[in-house]
Chain A
Amino acid sequence: DTAVSQTPKYLVTQMGNDKSIKCEQNLGHDTMYWYKQDSKKFLKIMFSYNNKELIINETVPNRFSPKSPDKAHLNLHINSLELGDSAVYFCASSLRGGFYEQYFGPGTRLTVT
């Protein structure tokens, strides 16, 4: 069974469009994350939710809006996409917030043209 799943795996869209990425974990974890990995493989945290509550927002443009309907799901909606948003977006989860080991999804490769 997939522990952390994301859809879609690939997303190609034009500048100015709005798109969403969905994430689900079946590990029973309390905390979920969104990371952005750029073309140089640098991985940076964007958001973290603990039991549906936003606990980390790392100065991400407000075009990015995460939503957690329940603790097993964390979605990412992006408005007015820009070329610089092209990257791989990873969802992850951990038992609790803090410094626990994290389980990553397979990633969503977003290409903005």
Chain B
Amino acid sequence: SQQGEEDPQALSIQEGENATMNCSYKTSINNLQWYRQNSGRGLVHLILIRSNEREKHSGRLRVTLDTSKKSSSLLITASRAADTASYFCATDAVTQGGSEKLVFGKGTKLTVNP
């Protein structure tokens, strides 16, 4: 089944640096979403980008989408220790019964060192 695959699996940077995470998927999508998960917490929605959009910004976050390459990237600029978390991309898919669902990748674990 269709699934986003994040790359790298883990990323460690210094505070103030930029962090880039990538997501690749297999089949056509309507939209792609990015979520953050702090340790021991639930996922928090960050940004949704539709298939007809190429770039979207939200604060220090920038998401790009290249449907020809079936890939998306999440850039966090001027990272802070509080950005330490796992980041997941989620793509839309359809179940065998015809219902719509999100399929999550395995995540990128980002560590921002003070």
Contact = CB atoms under 8 A, between A and B. Distances in A.
Contact of A56 (B35, B37, B48, B95): B95
Contacts of B78: none
A43 B104 contact: yes
Interface in A31-83: 40-45, 48, 55-58
Interface string B101-114: 11110110100000
Nearest to A103: B45
A4 B43 CA distance: 11
Nearest to A50: B99
Contact of A104 (B42, B99, B106, B109): B42
Interface string B74-114: 00000000000010100010010101111110110100000
A103 to B, nearest CB: 7
A45 B102 contact: yes
A54 B86 CA distance: 30
Contact of A98 (B35, B40, B100): B100
B95 to A, nearest CB: 6
A58 B106 contact: no
A6 B104 CA distance: 21
B59 to A, nearest CB: 16
B31 interface: yes
Given A56-B95, A107-B41, A40 B106 contact: yes
Contact of A99 (B44, B88, B92): B92
B43 A43 contact: yes
Nearest to B101: A45
Contacts of A57: 97
A106 B42 contact: yes
Given A41-B106, A45-B103, A56-B95, 13 more contacts: A4-B42, A40-B106, A41-B86, A41-B107, A41-B109, A42-B104, A44-B104, A45-B101, A55-B97, A56-B99, A99-B92, A106-B41, A107-B41
11 contacts: A42-B106, A43-B88, A55-B97, A58-B101, A90-B43, A92-B42, A99-B31, A101-B33, A101-B45, A102-B102, A104-B35
